[in-house]
Amino acid sequence: MLLHVPDVLTPEELAHGRALLERAPWADGRLTAGSQSAQVKRNLQLPQDCAEARELSAMVEAALKRNSLFFSAALPKKVFPPLFNCYQGGMDFGNHVDNAVRADPFSGDWVRTDVSCTLFFTGPDEYQGGELVVEDCYGLHQVKLPAGDMVLYPSTSLHRVEPVTAGARIASFFWTQSMVRDDAKRSLLFDMDSAISNLRRTHGDNDALIMLTANYHNLLRMWADI
């Protein structure tokens, strides 16, 4: 499932985040790449232990906790501390698949990467190129979203970032370990949850909707790994 999540950050959070990013100490992005990814990765990245990255990460994590669409789609069990990158001057990231597990640099806990997330801090009118291209069984999907919006997609997907030929593409990226590791099951639960919400807004609660809600929770109970 590939999903656009709008307005993850408020305008005030976005403005504050961009101010932090402007003065942050950018470093070579290959420092955090795996051996294969490092061969095709050309970008800048914030060191996770710098003050700006820590403040930005806390801001993003707080925004995720209040976002019901993110919760419904990702069913998060753990969220890897958000990272921040910048592409400019022809930088790109070639085709790759994200590492299956990553160690949280602060807690040392292992996080299984079920859902990949990119949250944009610059809008599509501020740079040229830089599309996130995600490949799945239905073909190629190009993603270039407004600042403050986020895209989710399965971490099993082959994906890349096209070269940025003008301006700068700045984003946060991170991974979620889901309570439901299988993408097909997560997609089914998300569709069911969305349908329940739409029916409740349109018709209110009734016996059929109560039964459908019970089925959702019983499926989640059956599949959840917590």
Residues in Cβ contact with 37 at an 8 Å cutoff, skipping those fewer than 6 apart: 93, 96, 99
96 assigned binding-site residue: yes
16 assigned binding-site residue: no
4 assigned binding-site residue: no
207 assigned binding-site residue: no
- One DSSP character per residue, 56-116 reads HHHHHHHHHHT-HHHHHHH-EEEEPPPEEEEEETT-EEEEE---SEEE-TTT--EEE--EE
Distance CA 56, CA 51 (A): 9
Where helices occur in 29-144 by DSSP H, the ranges are 51-65, 68-74
Instruction: Centre a 10 Å sphere on the Cβ of residue 84 and count the other Cβ atoms it contains.
Output: 28
Binding annotation for Fe cation = 96, 98, 159
Binding annotation = 96, 98, 159, 169
Binding annotation for 2-oxoglutarate = 169
